[in-house]
Chains A and B, each alone.
Chain A
Amino acid sequence: MHNPPKLFLRFFRWYCHPDLVRPIEGDLMELYEEQVQKLGKKQADRKFIKDVILLFRKDIIKPTEGTQKLNYYGMLKHNFKIGYRSLTRNKAHSIINIGGLAMGMTVAILISIWIFDELSFNKNHDNYDSVAKLYCIESGSRVEVSQVHPTGLGTLLENEYGDYLESIALVRQRIENRVIAVGDKIFTQGGYFVQQAFPEMFSLKMVHGRVQDLDGLSSIFLSLSLSEKLFGKENPYGKEVIMDARWRLTVKGVYEDLPRNSEFADASYFAPLNRYLEGWSSLNVWDNYNMRIYVQMKDGVDERMVSSLIEKAMLPHVDENTARLEPTLFLMPMKEWHLYAQFDKGELVSSKQLKFVWFFGIIGVFILGIACINFVNLSTASSEQRAKEIGIRKTMGSHRKQLIAQFLTESMLLVTIAVTISLLLVSSLLPYFNDIAAKEMTIMWHDYRFWLSILAFIFFTGLLAGGYPALFLSSFNPVNSLKGKSNASTFLTELPRKVLVVFQFTISISLIIGTTIVYKQILLAKSLPVGYNQDKLVSLIPRSPEYYQKYDVLKDELKNTGLVENTGSANYSVLSTLGWNTGFDWDGKDTDSNPAFNTIRISYDYGKTIGLEFVQGRDFNAEFANESANVIINESALRMMGFQDPIGKSIQFREDWFGHPSFQIIGVVKDMIKGSPYEPTFPSIMFLSDGGMQNFYLRIKENVSAKEALPVLAEVFEKVVPSAPFDYQFVDDEYNRLFQAEESIGRLAAILAMLAILISCLGLFGLSSFVVEKRSKEVGIRKVLGASVFTLWKMLSKDFLLLVVTASIIAIPLSYYFLNNWLQGYTFRTEISLWVLGAACAIAIFITLLTISQQAFKTAFKNPVETLKDE
């Protein structure tokens, strides 16, 4: 007995038709044996191989679909075929189903992408799991949580807790808008002053240079986009840029721009912190809070453990007053920065952003649910059309399981088509969605997880939409359905349908109400008096020493153009609440309290420029002597101090930062909205400063158009202060940007509400067409007996109208409850007025009527002969 080449024998067995494999193999073996005897093994092997290869032909190879039907393959194929046929049989029905589902899914997918983006904040950083930010809780009269620390704390942590920390990086607390210039290219750019460990900690992806080279006093890292703006395509490594017209910095690195969903996305440069501190501060200061502190834990070190170690680290170093507040330190890991960093009274509370994530997540599920409900309703409503089919199938021996499988296949088929359409829609709508949501989201076509979730999505939605119809339809009694009797009682089949329609419309109406209230809230906030005049008010932040030197020249030159009403400056923006101080005293002050005031410095003419509205007293005046010992307060401050006649009263300040120990009040102005437009104004005190300050304001004359004036002003500005760009902003534009978050929510909510009502009506349209068709004979008979079109219309619309009215009744208290909760977050809040609730319901009812009437009239107008002629 000899053995032929094993490999080829196996190959033969693999490809050969199972019916043929045994006899042919026998033939082959017999021949082989003979050949071995005659020609020797080598020749026989060769012949055997040749035979095997020549056997590899159409008639011998096993068919690809398998030979024995040991699976339900044929049944599955059949299910698809029937599914396809029932899709094409009732085209209107299918289009409504697929269209509604596709819309619902588009919304759901877009929202999923949005949520994914929110959840993946900062994930681009390699050290996502080991980097944390330092926070401090101070429990004074009100508990405050802050992420701003003195430099000394960073140095202390580095020296004493280095065993646990891989690295530590101090970062200037806020983004610094600086003027960066190369030759005649001058731009105002936002960036951060950071310590050397920062770029590596945040794993900046370097295009040029090394990540650890941000050293010394005169290096700088540029983002790729800034580098291209300044240097074009060439490698700027080693070249020089000039910051604020006084610091020469060498480009030591260019990094890829950070993605929009990361902590430092707004930075276009990173410069050494020492450059910032040089000359006026150091790394061992304990009384100036101006740094964020980031740490990277060593492998295996838990941030909670470090938190408990460093908890009291500040105490020995701060002054008595601060120590009394018991500053407690803790670390917050990077994964919590975006969605969890919101505090109320020292406790973590769910942040606005996290609420948005929940809000949109829930709405997405609801809208998908509404679309699924259409499917359920249309399937069960059309079930009578298929009752006979099911009866016959059951008589032929179909198991209920098989019927369920068939209906589920149909719904999966439908959902797959809908998903395909919605993926197309999503990819074409994403740019607009990015605009609305102010994000840079992309579809991860290349990510297997994306496709997995799409598959899961299809499965889940298919089950959601097809599950109930599958169970319902497969439960029919074959005898009844073949005899043409209806299967379940009408009450039992129609009740779930009715409940689902009510559910759809409750959601839709609630969304309409919600959208209206959000818009009303925005309008209210926009209509609040801001306390100054924003019309044609232009702000500039000229960061150049030249500007401070030539401040007076600039003022004069600008005024000489005749286009400018007035100019002035302040140390903080009119739109910010920066600048806080405690330590004020006045007659009659409660000795225990130490309230904080918003303190800013303003120049002569600042009040005139921005149009401060004086309630009492006067503005600073350059012609009076000793004005720097005077202050202006706002109405909130007046209320806090409780003076009857505030003018001439004096207040004392403990520190000497404003040049005097005591000040006289010379004026009271109306409250100004500075920070969030939804919050009341803080009590504030305005001090006088002689020279120019970094926030420069000018008002264009009323009778001059801004378009005319700006080029002239730019020319003057560039002549006087050539080292700073004329990067102007209109204050009203800046102010409107404060509404962005609310407005984008409002826009999104409006779109979602519209979609919800649209999908609901689409379903209602389909449903009513079934119901009306079912009753067409009844309508015919009624008509013959003399019913008018109007009566018929009333009869046919009544049922549906009732559902929508029920939905309104449910939606009103529901939305009132949630909106009231939402509005509690705002100090100035709009009221949820009756007319909004009423109007939303009226709109829903009107749209419903429109939808149904089309069907109702069609039937009511039909000639009864047509509907009654058969049978």
Chain B
Amino acid sequence: MKKFQLGEFEEIVMLTVAILYDDAYGVSIKKEIENRLNRGVSVGALQSALKRLEDKKYLASLDKDATQERAGRPKRYYKITALGKEAMQYTKETRNSLWDAIPSISLDVKFAKLFNA
């Protein structure tokens, strides 16, 4: 079994939460991803990812700031836990090691063209 399980979208969410640091709650995370990655994120997809990450203990949450424009509902702020940090680290390292293992020639685009022909 893999030591840390982190899907692609989950990884993006984790990274975004880290970027936002003190201001990571539902709407801000959604907007941040949309702006940075230029892709649409539904509330459902985001919330279920957040729930899963919280269940995996990668994220911790705290409710505060019940404002009027939110109809008196609190914002749920997320922070990365130590375990979450490890998971991110691990994912990054595995990526890096894979990158490092690529021989430079395989990224030669000309070769790929030949192959196609």
The answer on A and B forming one complex is yes
By a beta-carbon cutoff of 8 Å, the part of chain A in contact with chain B is: 1, 17, 20, 22-31, 33, 50-51, 53-60
User: B42 in the interface, Cβ–Cβ < 8 Å?
Assistant: yes
With a 10 A CB-CB cut-off, give which of B27, B52, B74 has the most chain A CB atoms: B27
Q: Answer whether A29 and B51 are a contact pair too, CB < 8 Å, given A55-B43, A60-B44.
A: no
Residues facing A in B35-71 (CB within 8 A) are 42-45, 47-48, 51-52, 61, 63, 66, 68-71
Given A27-B25, A33-B69, 10 more A-B residue pairs with CB atoms under 8 Å apart are A20-B47, A22-B63, A23-B76, A26-B71, A26-B73, A27-B43, A27-B70, A54-B42, A58-B48, A60-B44
**Out of B45, B52, B63, B68, which one reaches A23, CB within 8 Å?**
B63
Number of A-B contacts (CB under 8 A): 77
Say whether, besides A30-B70, A55-B43, A23 and B48 are in contact (CB < 8 Å).
no
Flag if A23 contacts B69 (CB, 8 Å). no
| Chain B 64-106: CB-based contact to A (< 8 A → 1; otherwise 0) | 0010111101111000000000000000000000000000000
Q: How far, in angstroms, from A1 to B71 measured CA to CA in the complex?
A: 9
A103 to chain B, nearest CB (A): 53
* A-B residue pairs in contact (CB < 8 Å), sample of 12: A25-B71, A26-B73, A27-B25, A27-B26, A29-B73, A31-B27, A50-B42, A54-B42, A55-B48, A56-B44, A57-B48, A60-B51
Measured in the bound complex, the distance between the Cα atoms of B76 and A17 in whole Å is 14
Chain B residues contacting A27 (CB-CB under 8 Å) are 25-27, 30, 43, 47, 70, 75
**Are the CB atoms of A23 and B74 closer together than 8 Å?**
yes
Q: Which residue of A lies closest to B71 (CB)?
A: A29
- Which of B43, B69, B71 lies in contact with A51, CB distance below 8 A? B43
A17 to chain B minimum Cβ distance, whole angstroms, is 8
Query: In whole Å, how far is B43's beta carbon from the nearest beta carbon of chain A?
Result: 4
User: Which residues of the other chain, A, contact B51 by a CB distance below 8 angstroms?
Assistant: 17, 20, 59-60
A8 → chain B closest CB, angstroms: 13
Q: Are A51 and B44 in contact (CB under 8 A)?
A: yes
Q: Knowing A29-B70, A30-B70, say if A23 contacts B25 (CB, 8 Å).
A: yes
Please give, as numbers and ranges, the residues of chain A lying within 8 Å of B63 by CB-CB distance.
22-23
**A55 CB contacts on chain B under 8 angstroms:** 42-44, 47-48
Of residues 6 through 51 on chain B, the ones whose CB sits less than 8 Å from some CB of chain A are 25-27, 30, 42-45, 47-48, 51
Complex Cα distance, B75 from A438, in Å, reads: 77
- In the assembled complex, which residues on chain B have CB atoms less than 8 Å from the CB atom of A25? 71, 73
A52: shortest Cβ distance to chain B, in Å? Answer: 8
Cα A31 to Cα B43 in complex, Å, equals 10
**Bound CA–CA A648/B76 (angstroms):** 123
CB-CB < 8 A to B42: which residues of A?
Answer: 50-51, 54-55
CA gap between A26 and B65 in the complex, in Å: 10
The minimal Cβ–Cβ distance linking B22 to chain A, given in whole angstroms, is 16
**Are A54 and B71 in contact (CB-based, < 8 A)?**
no
Q: Give CA–CA (A223, B68) in the complex, Å.
A: 80
B interface list, Cβ under 8 A from A: 25-27, 30, 42-45, 47-48, 51-52, 61, 63, 66, 68-71, 73-76
List of A residues within 8 angstroms of B76 by Cβ: 23-24, 26
Most buried by B among A24, A27, A33, A58: A27
Report yes or no: A60 in contact with B69, Cβ–Cβ below 8 A.
no
Interchain CB contact under 8 A, A26 and B48: no
Contact B27 A59 (CB under 8 A): no
Q: Chain B residues near A50 (CB, 8 Å)?
A: 42
Taking a contact as CB atoms under 8 Å apart, the answer to whether B44 and A54 are in contact is yes
Residues of the A chain whose Cβ atoms lie less than 8 Å from the Cβ of B71: 1, 25-26, 29
Q: B75 and A26: CB pair below 8 A?
A: yes
10 A-B pairs with least C-beta separation: A26-B73, A23-B76, A54-B44, A27-B26, A59-B48, A26-B70, A55-B44, A59-B51, A54-B42, A51-B43
Given contacts A27-B27, A29-B69, contact A54 B43 (CB under 8 A): yes
For chain B, what secondary structure do more than half of its interface residues adopt (helix, strand, loop), or is it mixed? helix
Asked if B26 contacts A23 (CB within 8 A), the reply is yes
Q: How far is the CB of A773 from chain B (nearest CB, A)?
A: 50
Report B-chain residues with C-beta under 8 Å of the C-beta of A20.
Answer: 47, 51
What is the distance, in angstroms, from A23's C-beta to the closest C-beta of chain B?
3
Set of chain B residues within 8 Å of A31, measured between Cβ atoms: 27, 30, 43
A56-B44 Cα distance, complex, nearest whole Å: 7
Least distance between B6 CB and chain A CB atoms (Å): 16
Nearest opposing residue in chain B for A29, CB measure: B71
Instruction: Report the Cα distance A20→B44, complex, angstroms.
Output: 12
Q: Please tell me if the beta carbons of B27 and A23 are within 8 angstroms of each other in the complex.
A: no
Best-surrounded residue of B47, B51, B63, B76 (most CB of chain A within 10 A): B47
Q: Which residues in B have their C-beta under 8 angstroms from that of A60?
A: 44, 47-48, 51
Measured between C-beta atoms, what is the minimum distance from B53 to chain A in Å? 10
Contacts of B73 in A (CB 8 A): 22-23, 25-26, 29
With A23-B25, A23-B76 as given contacts, are A30 and B47 in contact (CB-CB < 8 Å)?
no
How far is B70's CA from A48's CA once the two chains are assembled, in angstroms? 14
Distance, CA A20 to CA B73, complexed state (A): 11
B63 CB to nearest chain A CB (Å): 6
Nearest B residue to A4 via CB reads B71
Q: Are A24 and B47 closer than 8 Å at their CB atoms?
A: yes
Say how far A28's CB is from chain B's closest CB, in angstroms: 6
- CA separation between A177 and B25, bound complex, in Å? 94
The docked-state distance in angstroms from the alpha carbon of A683 to that of B61 is: 105
Cβ–Cβ contact A54 & B26, under 8 A:
no
Q: In whole angstroms, what is the CA distance A60 to B48 when docked?
A: 6
A24 touches B66 (CB 8 A): no
B48 in contact with A28 (CB, 8 Å): no
Assembly CA distance A217 to B39 (angstroms): 95
How far, in whole Å, are A24 and B43 apart by their CA atoms in the complex?
8
Contacts of B26 in A (CB 8 A): 23-24, 26-27
A17, A22, A54: the one contacting B45 at CB < 8 Å is A54
Contacts A27-B26, A30-B69, A33-B69 given; does A22 touch B43 at CB 8 Å: no
Closest to A61 in B: B48
> Is A28 a contact of B43 with CB atoms below 8 Å?
yes
Q: Which residues of B contact A26 (CB under 8 A)?
A: 26, 66, 70-71, 73-76
Of A1, A50, A59, chain B has the most CB atoms within 10 Å of the CB of A59
- Specify which chain A residues have a CB less than 8 angstroms from the CB of B68 in the assembled complex: 1
Closest B residue to A9 by CB, please name it. Answer: B71
> Which of B48, B66, B71 has the most chain A CB atoms inside 10 A of its CB?
B71
Chain B residues with Cβ below 8 Å from A29 are: 69-71, 73
Cα-based distance from A22 to B25 in the complex (angstroms)? 13
Nearest CB on A from B30, distance (A)? 8
Are B27 and A30 neighbours in the complex by a CB distance under 8 Å? yes
Which among B30, B44, B66 is the interface contact of A57 at CB below 8 angstroms? Answer: B44
* Least CB distance, B80 to chain A, in whole angstroms: 18
Which residue of chain A has its CB nearest to the CB of B46? A27
CA distance in complex: A51, B61 (Å)? 22
Q: How distant is the Cα of A137 from the Cα of B2 in the complex, in angstroms?
A: 98
From B61, B70, B75, residue with most partner A Cβ within 10 Å: B70
Contacts of B27 in A (CB 8 A): 27, 30-31
Q: Which of A23, A29, A30 has the largest number of chain B CB atoms within 10 A?
A: A23
Q: From residue B106, how far is it (CB to closest CB) to chain A in Å?
A: 39
Nearest residue, chain A, Cβ from B65: A26
* Assembly CA distance A31 to B70 (angstroms): 9
**Bound complex: CA of A483 vs CA of B7, how far in Å?**
57
Inter-chain CA distance A56–B48, complex, in Å, is: 10
CA distance A26 to B77 in the complex (A): 12
Q: How far is the CA of A20 from the CA of B63 in the complex (A)?
A: 10
By a CB distance below 8 angstroms, the chain A residues around B25 are 23, 27
Of all chain A residues, the one with the shortest Cβ separation from B55 is A59
CA distance A38 to B28 in the complex (A): 17
Chain B residues contacting A57 (CB-CB under 8 Å) are 44, 48
A578 to B68, CA, bound (A): 99
CB distance from A50 to the nearest CB of B (A): 8
| Smallest Cβ-Cβ distance to B77: which chain A residue | A23
In the complex, what residues of A have CB within 8 A of residue B74's CB?
A: 22-23, 26
Q: CA of A25 to CA of B70 in the docked complex: distance in angstroms?
A: 8
Q: What separation, in Å, do the CA atoms of A24 and B70 have in the docked complex?
A: 10
Chain A residue nearest to B70 (CB atoms) is A26
Most buried by A among B42, B61, B68: B42
